[in-house]
Amino acid sequence: MTTRPEPRSALWRAGWYGFARQLASPNFGARPGGARVDLIVLHSISLPPGQYGGEEVQQLFSNTLDWNAHPYFKSIEGVAVSAHFYIRRNGELWQFVSCDDRAWHAGNSHYRGRDNCNDDSVGIELEGLEGATFEPAQYEALAGLCAAIGQQYPVQHIAGHEHIAPGRKSDPGEGFDWALLQRCLAWPKQCFPR
């Protein structure tokens, strides 16, 4: 019996992307049966907000953050959240949940006629501050990642948390350059938020 290697499978293993640092989060569940993963959701996060370069986001997503380490952390104490990916200011890429599974990043949400976007989206967190700008290295890493996700999953849409939960969420916000991402990816305009 011969097995033919699939060109895509070298990059992905059971929903884990080969070029990301892996840190498994306990905060995930199974996707509903038949879920069509056709949406990428972009977020921004930094802990404490506006401070970059620490390990606190990784700790939050792996339920190891010390809630007493900073006054801000008390305001989010006990939350159990995750994203599939996290891109640091220098472009370093982390993965916490297999893209085959459902990460907990979107909350109450609605987009392209469907509710509960966690069911059938891939969530990417950018280290940053809502409304502020992002680094060239982050766009570079993000574009490469989105292209890789698009080769593995039937992605049709990419949107911000602010677009899938308007009024409740406003990340990544005005400082995110959607036009730049579109140029980098060369995906059709209708894939992007209007």
How many residues make up the chain in this entry? Answer: 194
Q: Does 171 bind Zn ion (CB under 5 A)?
A: yes
Contacts of 173 (CB under 8 A, 6+ apart): 44, 130, 131, 132, 160, 162
- Chain-centroid distance of CA 76 in Å reads 19
- Using the minimum distance from each CB to Zn ion, give the nearer residue, 127 or 171: 171
Distance (Å, whole) CA 171 – CA 74: 21
* Pairing status of strand 114-115 against strand 110-111: antiparallel
Find the part of the chain contacting Zn ion (CB under 5 A) among 18-26, 41-49, 67-75, 80-88. 41-49
Under rule CB under 5 A, which residues in 82-141 are in contact with Zn ion? none
Which is catalytic among the residues 77, 92, 125, 130? Answer: 125
Closest separation between CB of residue 151 and Zn ion, Å?
A: 25
SS3 state at 159: strand
Residue 71 · residue 100 · CB < 8 Å: no
Active site residue 125: yes
Closest separation between CB of residue 140 and Zn ion, Å?
A: 21
Closest separation between CB of residue 174 and Zn ion, Å?
A: 15
Closest separation between CB of residue 1 and Zn ion, Å?
A: 46
Which DSSP helix (H) or strand (E) runs through 179? Answer: helix 178-185
Find the part of the chain contacting Zn ion (CB under 5 A) among 43-51, 91-99, 132-140, 183-191. 43-51
- Using the minimum distance from each CB to Zn ion, give the nearer residue, 12 or 103: 103
- Using the minimum distance from each CB to Zn ion, give the nearer residue, 159 or 191: 159
User: Of the candidates 14, 8, 6, which has an alpha carbon nearest to the alpha carbon of residue 100?
Assistant: 14
Out of 31, 84, 88, 161, the only residue in the binding site for Zn ion (CB under 5 A) is 161
Q: Which are the catalytic amino acids?
A: 125
Residues that bind Zn ion (CB under 5 A): 43, 161, 171
